[in-house]
């Protein structure tokens, strides 16, 4: 059983992993190396695809001090050779005596690290603070276990539920504070998706920008995804060189998600418009909803969602996980539940 010192080390590893906003398509992972007396030797973190894994980062910092140490890792050490060598092999070669990990790796291509470590005579303890560690990588874990990207739908609306005026204009319904908040969420996704209608109406950039409204470097930008069969002129901003762009000439949600899976997308941030969002909603393929409600009214215009509901039996509840004000707006984060019609025997 993990000691109090090891539990504290695991919490530190979780905090370190959380400090990196985006590592997709890889999971966020932290590692702490402890000396036999419990003193901290080194801390490692994974910073994204192509960079050292957390265990390798910690081992490089520890050097010879790793021999006989305890490695505390938020995710089961990988047993897969990709851009880097298997972490299980690196821990064995370094002479680590004990490995404690939280979440078991759900990826069949990388799993098996714990067994490899045990076969090498290393003491292994699994599942320590597993729930807290799994929360680091909700979207990645979902994608690996479900075989499709996790879909977060973000929308902004007035108090009367409208996201655009009758003339199609929708900038800006919510405040500057809400728009900055959205940037933080965008930065944690690996694709930002919109339909051709929304792109033609608003000419959005679909990029992640900093506090000064300047785009982050190209290599830090999520993939921009434009869905639909309508042609978009090349001078629209979605085709600039700030970020990569993928066109998917289909509105079928399953086809779209299959294409994104081919491109190693684990978490897609769905923005605009109501038709595209409605297609995903009707198909039951929205996994999280983030809504920004402005304290204003339009009276007429377009709703945020074009669904297929015909009666109150189609009302779908939202399990609210977070509710707060952002500037003058209200932000709601929740998970879609089942409608009454689906609950009928």
Query: Is the pLDDT confidence value at 32 over 90?
Result: yes
pLDDT recorded at residue 173: 87
Average pLDDT over residues 203-219: 87
CA distance 23 to 47: 6
Q: Which two tokens stand for residue 79?
A: 């047993």
Domain residue ranges in the chain: 4-140, 147-343
Contact 334, 310 (CB under 8 A): no
Q: Which CATH superfamily is domain 4-140 in?
A: Cytidine Deaminase, domain 2 (3.40.140.10)
pLDDT recorded at residue 307: 78
pLDDT recorded at residue 325: 97
CA distance 33 to 52: 16
pLDDT per residue over 191-208, tens digit each?
A: 999 999 889 888 999 999
Of the residues 6, 55, 76, 139, only one is catalytic, namely: 55
CB atoms within 10 A of CB 220: 14
CA distance 325 to 15: 25
Q: Which two tokens stand for residue 212?
A: 């000064």
pLDDT per residue over 294-317, tens digit each?
A: 999 988 878 888 877 777 777 888
Does 55 qualify as catalytic in the annotation? yes
Asked if the bond preceding 273 is cis, omega within 30° of 0, the reply is yes
Query: Is the pLDDT confidence value at 84 over 90?
Result: no
**What's the mean per-residue pLDDT of the chain?**
91
CATH number of 147-343: 3.40.430.10
Query: Annotated binding site for NADP(+), which residues?
Result: 156, 172, 202, 273-279
CA distance 110 to 113: 8
pLDDT per residue over 95-149, tens digit each?
A: 999 999 999 999 888 788 999 999 999 999 999 999 999 999 999 999 999 999 9
Query: Annotated binding site, which residues?
Result: 53, 78, 87, 156, 170, 172, 186, 202, 206, 209, 271, 273-279
Query: Annotated binding site for Zn(2+), which residues?
Result: 53, 78, 87
């Amino acid at each position: 059983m993990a000691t109090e010192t090891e539990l504290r080390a695991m919490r530190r590893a979780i905090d370190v992993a959380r400090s990196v906003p985006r590592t997709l398509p890889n999971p966020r992972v932290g590692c702490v190396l402890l000396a036999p007396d419990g003193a901290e030797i080194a801390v490692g973190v994974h910073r994204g695809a192509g960079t050292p894994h957390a265990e390798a980062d910690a081992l490089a910092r520890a050097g010879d001090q790793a021999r006989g140490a305890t490695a505390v890792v938020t995710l089961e050490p990988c047993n897969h050779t990709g851009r880097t060598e298997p972490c299980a092999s690196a821990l064995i070669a370094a002479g680590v005596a004990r490995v404690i990990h939280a979440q078991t790796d759900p990826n069949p291509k990388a799993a098996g690290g714990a067994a490899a470590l045990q076969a090498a005579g290393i003491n292994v303890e699994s599942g320590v603070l597993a729930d807290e560690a799994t929360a680091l990588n909700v979207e990645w874990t979902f994608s690996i276990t479900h075989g499709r990207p996790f879909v977060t739908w973000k929308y902004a609306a007035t108090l009367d539920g409208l996201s655009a005026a009758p003339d199609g204009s929708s900038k800006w319904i919510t405040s500057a504070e809400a728009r900055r908040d959205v940037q933080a969420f965008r930065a944690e996704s690996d694709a930002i998706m919109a339909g051709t209608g929304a792109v033609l109406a608003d000419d959005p950039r679909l990029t992640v920008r900093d506090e000064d409204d300047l785009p982050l470097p190209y290599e830090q930008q999520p993939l921009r995804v434009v869905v639909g069969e309508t042609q978009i002129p090349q001078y629209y901003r979605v085709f600039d060189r700030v970020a990569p762009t993928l066109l998917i000439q289909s509105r079928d949600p399953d086809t779209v998600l299959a294409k994104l899976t081919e491109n190693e997308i684990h978490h897609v941030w769905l923005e605009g418009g109501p038709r595209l969002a409605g297609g995903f909603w009707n198909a039951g393929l929205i996994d999280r909803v983030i809504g920004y409600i402005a304290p204003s009214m339009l009276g007429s215009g377009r709703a945020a969602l074009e669904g297929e509901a015909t009666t109150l039996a189609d009302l779908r509840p939202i399990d609210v996980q977070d509710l707060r004000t952002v500037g003058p707006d209200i932000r709601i984060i929740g998970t879609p539940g089942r409608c009454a019609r689906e609950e009928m025997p």
